[in-house]
Chains A and B, each alone.
Chain A
Amino acid sequence: MSVSTRPGLSQRFGRVRVAATVAMSIKARALREAGHDVVTFAIGEPDFATPPHAIEAAHQAALRGDTKYPPQDGTRALKAAIQRQFQRDHGLDYALDEIMVSSGAKQVLFNALMATVDEGDEVVIPVPCWAAYTLMTKLVGGTPVHVSCPQNNRFRLRPEDLEAAITPRTKWLMLNYPNNPTGAVASPAELAGLAEVLLRHPQVWVMADDMYEHLYYSDERYATLAEVEPRLRDRTLTVSGVSKTYAMTGWRIGFAGGPKDLIRAMVSMQGTSAAGVSTIGQAAAVGALDGPQELVAERAAIYRRRRDFVVDALNTCPGIACHRPEGAFYVFPNIAGCLGKTTAGGRLLQTDEDFALALLEEHHVALVQGAAFGMSPYLRISYATDDASLAKGMERIAAFTRGLR
């Protein structure tokens, strides 16, 4: 070992990267601190407030002294509320020992992968995808296997592509609908097509990351895999949380339902890495899950209106073609028509990252390049922001694209 007064970082650590979304936010903040009026579409966070009944539940919990170590798998009250939600939304019956609570859905995924993935195990990840899937897979020594979901299939995974990606080393398939970054949602019929493939490969576990499930702009209700194909229930982890549905990102409450042996392993992992989840946050989550749900539909209607505004505005920009997605609060426009051109500020746009950086520098709009999600040349725009900022940002993007030569 070398003699050094700098930290010798582990090899596994070399696999960890700062997410591009974070890097873009840091750049945007620097510009803002320098006095610029920056509009940001880079962050995947609702602009709404935590529902009042969740706040009241947190308040009551603090007053009654609910401030001691919680059980490592979550409080009984929250697990029971989650059990009711799985039943109410999906007709899924999970026993209390098939449910766990984590510090955000991110920790649910981390626990599951840490608890199950050995060196060289493969994780099938449809792309574009949330970068965390790939980074976490590498962190735990697994091999990410990316499967492209092109725009001409509305960014959804095709059964034949899934079939081709599965090998004897495949441990997990990550499914994320409504999808970050594309907003794509797979219908029950499409999920059934994937399920048919999965039934032929009993070694494959499925992570159904349903974080955005209540942000679905359709007359239908979102259906999750274990509900569509009950025969997959015993190897599916159904993941959700309160961050997106109830605008409670800061509280850090995610949860999952799954087979008991998997949940037990995940609890063991969590017990060793961080132990339980904030009791006050858990109490607030009970308030949100058990309280009136009208707010969810009201907010979804607002998001839907914003989506339509953004898609229409982007489609008037020269060189941009924007697909109209079914859910989440993202759009994922194609910018192939802008590449090879030069901005008014004299920057040559060769990649989507060039586009994102030039837009930020010249027009102070922060968004994230598609490359950060594994597909180029695209942009991810989060429309979880107020109407005035959306209007201002869209005007700036239009001005930017009109200035391209």
Chain B
Amino acid sequence: MKLIADRLDRISPSQTIAIATKARALQADGRDVISLSAGEPDFDTPQFVKDGAIAAIQAGETKYTDVAGTPALRRAVAEKFRRDSGIDYAPDEIIVSTGGKQVIFNAMLATMDAGDEAIIPSPCWVSYPDIVALAEGKPVFVPCSQNNGFRLRAEDLEAAITPRTKWFILNSPCNPTGAAYSAADLRPLCDVLLRHPEVWIFTDDIYEKLVYDGFRPATIVEVEPALRDRTVTMNGCSKAYAMTGWRIGFAGAPKALIKAMDKLQSQSTSNASSVSQAAALVGLTGPQDFIGEMVAVYHQRRDLVVEMLNQAPGITCHKPEGAFYVFPSMRGCLGKTSAKGAKITDDESFVIALLDEEGVACVHGAAFMCPDHFRISYATDTASLREACSRIQRFCRGLA
């Protein structure tokens, strides 16, 4: 009998292993590699959050908590949704999990049967299709083109919905494009969804706080309260509070679904770390001004990176509303040969040659279901970013 279950074969092999392995090998050889591939803030967790966690440990908050999270944290999460989005969730409509990823996993595993479809606008974070496939569902990708700012169009959503559609997954601001939706952008999508009462909606708003130029991101339930009873509004501490390692994600959703997710979590991991929950509570209820300081820094970096990339021949970079990514097209580089003789046949050969020849690591677009692009994370210090972009410019100028 074979060891591995069929379901595991449905998880796509990692698209980024080749790049990561190469980057590590180059670094081990003493090469100066600048990594623009991280999906996490370069900022450290704020000191007051750390202090809060340490105080909680000393107070003995080291025991099992309710599976769905401590009552105090669930109340704080409910307050966060009220404060930021004007959505009222009761504490039993909130769940806290080990990262936003577990929220998605719980929701999909609790609801999807074989053959159910989940609509995923692409480019997308590859975990969505992986989790859907693991739950025996079928990912249905709807491409969102750069000329619409990588945002989903209502008519494309409408065309993708079938009688088997169970979920529509929306990530705003988006990983990998940084595209974000305002209330006006969401309105036509909500109108489509109102016509399809069998479709559930999962909004991943984890990058919500990272928006620039005064952009005001909105979330589905805030725009259309009539969709509240079939929407999961997901958020977390990782990006807003630079707390990736603490592993705290959360969601508001109708009580029946939260109860189902709670039961599933009770059989797979039980509660998220009690210490991390205490830290999250301090983050959510403490002073929020450091977020503005962080956002100002990201803003400058975004502008720097977009400007410098657009000076690189063959590259066009859209300026996105949020997150800490840009997702430039490298279509103008296809078919060329690099200064050191590498043939650029696709986005992956582009990023590998760039890494080899200039020591800059980023992720190719195919890893996000969107070839001919690459993702740059600007969650890296400004000096390194400037240097990396100069190298990209030099690399592109060397293409012939």
Q: Spell out A's residues near B (CB within 8 Å).
A: 1-13, 16-19, 22, 43, 45, 49-50, 55, 58-59, 62-63, 65-70, 102-104, 106-107, 110, 114-118, 121, 132, 135-136, 139-140, 168-169, 171, 203, 205, 247-252, 261-262, 265, 268-269, 272-281, 284
Q: Would B273 and A250 count as touching, CB distance under 8 A?
A: yes
Main secondary structure of the interface of A (DSSP, over half): loop
Chosen A-B contacts, 9 in total, with CB atoms closer than 8 Å, are A7-B200, A8-B111, A63-B50, A67-B50, A67-B243, A106-B268, A251-B273, A272-B134, A273-B101
* Known A-B contacts A69-B244, A273-B101; A110 and B269 likewise in contact (beta carbons under 8 Å): yes
In this complex, what residue of B is CB-closest to A63? B50
- 14 further contact pairs, Cβ within 8 A, besides A106-B268, A273-B101: A5-B230, A13-B110, A50-B60, A67-B243, A102-B269, A103-B98, A121-B5, A136-B268, A139-B264, A250-B274, A252-B270, A261-B4, A265-B3, A273-B105
Interface residues in B71-124 by Cβ distance below 8 A to A read 97-99, 101-102, 105, 109-113, 116
Interchain CB contact under 8 A, A135 and B267? yes
**How far, in whole Å, are A22 and B271 apart by their CA atoms in the complex?**
12
Contact B135 A278 (CB under 8 A): no
A19-B266, A68-B244, A273-B268 as given contacts; A7 in contact with B111, CB under 8 Å: yes
Are A18 and B101 neighbours in the complex by a CB distance under 8 Å?
A: no
Report A242 CB to chain B, min CB distance, Å: 11
A50 to B58, CA, bound (A): 9
One of B1, B5, B39, B276 near A115 (C-beta < 8 A): B5
B49 to chain A, nearest CB (A): 9
Name the residue of chain B whose CB is nearest to the CB of A111: B268
**Distance (Å) between the CB of B259 and the closest chain A CB?**
9
Bound form: Cα–Cα A315–B183 in Å: 68
Give a binary string over B308-349; 1 marks a CB under 8 Å from any A CB, 0 the rest.
000000000000000000000000000000000000000000
Interface residues of B in 32-58 (CB under 8 A from A): 39-40, 44-45, 50, 53-54, 57-58
Contact in complex: A3, B260 (CB < 8 Å): no
Task: Say yes or no: A274-B101 contact (C-beta < 8 A), given A116-B3, A280-B246.
Answer: yes
Provide the bound-state CA to CA distance between A209 and B256, in Å: 33
Shortest distance between the CB of B48 and any CB in chain A (Å): 12
Neighbouring A residues of B257 by C-beta, 8 Å: 7
B63: min CB distance to chain A, Å = 5
CB-based contact B64/A114 at 8 Å: no
Closest to B103 in A: A274
State the CA gap A20–B62 with chains docked (Å): 23
The reply to whether A118 and B5 form a contact with Cβ atoms under 8 Å apart is yes
Q: How far is the CA of A6 from the CA of B230 in the complex (A)?
A: 7
> Is there an interface contact between B274 and A110, defined as CB atoms closer than 8 Å?
no
- A251 vs B98: C-alpha distance when bound (angstroms): 12
Give A247 to B58 CA distance when docked, in angstroms: 14
> 8 Å CB contacts to A: which residues of B251-300?
254, 256-257, 260, 263-264, 266-276, 279
B256 is contacted by which of A7, A16, A278, A279 (Cβ under 8 Å)? A7
For A104, list chain B residues within 8 Å (CB): 269-270
Alpha-carbon distance between A276 and B248 when the two chains are bound, in angstroms: 11
Q: Which residue of A lies closest to B127 (CB)?
A: A272
CB-CB under 8 A from B31, the residues of chain A are none
Given the interface contacts A274-B99, A280-B273, does A4 sit within 8 Å of B243 by beta carbon? Answer: no
Is B65 interfacial (CB-CB < 8 Å)?
Answer: yes
In-complex Cβ contact of B45 among A19, A45, A67 (8 A) = A67
Within the complex, the shortest CB–CB distance from A69 to chain B, in Å, comes to 5
Q: A344 to B101, alpha carbons, bound, how many Å?
A: 51
Q: Are B131 and A273 in contact (CB under 8 A)?
A: yes
A13 touches B260 (CB 8 A): yes
B111 touches A9 (CB 8 A): yes
Give complex CA distance A21, B246 in Å.
28
Q: A2 CA to B44 CA in the complex, in Å?
A: 48
Flag if B275 contacts A251 (CB, 8 Å): yes
A248 to chain B, nearest CB (A): 6
Q: Cβ of A62 and Cβ of B53 under 8 Å apart?
A: yes
Question: Which residues from B are CB-within-8-Å of A43?
Answer: 64
List the A residue with the shortest CB-CB distance to B230: A5
Q: Tell me if A13 and B101 are in contact (CB < 8 A).
A: no
Which residues on A sit within 8 Å (CB–CB) of B200?
A: 7
Contact B62 A251 (CB under 8 A): yes
Chain B residues, Cβ within 8 Å of A250: 61-65, 271, 273-275
Chain B residue contacts of A16, Cβ below 8 A: 263-264, 267
Query: In the complex, A61→B197 CA distance in Å?
Result: 48
CA distance A115 to B11 in the complex (A): 11
Counting chain A CB atoms within 10 Å of each CB, the highest count among B130, B131, B200, B274 belongs to B274
Contact with B113, one of A10, A45, A261 (Cβ below 8 angstroms): A10
Q: Across the interface, do B130 and A281 meet the contact criterion of CB distance under 8 Å?
A: no
Q: How far is the CA of A68 from the CA of B254 in the complex (A)?
A: 31
Residues on the B chain within 8 Å of A67, using CB:
44-45, 50, 242-246
Given A104-B269, A118-B6, A280-B275, CB of A55 within 8 Å of CB of B57: yes
* Residue B8, interface by CB 8 Å: yes
In the complex formed, the residue of A with least CB distance to B53 is A62
Task: Indicate whether B163 reaches chain A with its CB closer than 8 angstroms.
Answer: yes
A240 to B45 alpha-carbon distance, docked (Å): 30
Contact A5 B63 (CB under 8 A): no
B40 — which chain A residues lie within 8 A by C-beta?
68-69
| Residue pair A274, B269 in contact (C-beta under 8 Å) | yes
Most buried by A among B1, B11, B60, B105: B1
